[in-house]
Amino acid sequence: MPLILGFSKYFIDNMSARFLKKLYTGKRLRHKASIVKWKYRHGAGMPGVYFVTLIEDGPDLLEIYPVDTLMQAYYRKKSPLVVGMAEGYGEALEIVENILTDVHTKAGGYDTKEYFRALEGRPATEKPVGTDMAECPKGRGQ
């Protein structure tokens, strides 16, 4: 019995996905968000539940993962920021559409990282000089 408890405690302590305070949720999970987070942190399987996460590195904006995928060791180390949850892949796609619509209307673009940093109250990152194609001198970046 202690061995199982030890494994369980190890598993719980290493579930390190971060959740946005104001999550985007699908219609079917709207009132179950805290239960889904609790189940995730305690390693309970939830077939059909998907998390929408913010990409920290790379050109993509958002990713959709089944909850079981985020329970794997690689993602526990990566600690992604979960910005939405849905029951079913179709509902997860609707959440991504809602997020991108909100980002575009409120921030005037599709910079999801800066949008969610502002929602979390974290300071905005400065864009390195010369990374915007409009700022490049003629002949460079064309």
pLDDT of residue 123: 63
| Structural domain includes residue 131 | no
The alpha carbon torsion through 65, 69, 71, 75 (nearest 10 deg) reads -80
Question: Contact at 8 Å (CB) between 19 and 25?
Answer: no
| Structural domain includes residue 42 | yes
- Counted domains in the chain: 1
| Structural domain includes residue 125 | no
| Structural domain includes residue 6 | no
pLDDT of residue 125: 58
E strands, the chain, in order: 18-25, 49-54, 62-66, 81-87
Side chain identity, residue 88? G
pLDDT of residue 15: 57
Q: Is the pTM for the entire model greater than 0.75?
A: no
User: Which domain, by its residues, includes 105?
Assistant: 12-120
| Structural domain includes residue 113 | yes
Going from the first residue of the chain to its last (142 residues), give the mean pLDDT of each consecutive group of 10, the final group possibly shorter: 42 64 88 88 87 80 88 79 92 93 85 81 54 47 46
| Structural domain includes residue 138 | no
pLDDT of residue 68: 87
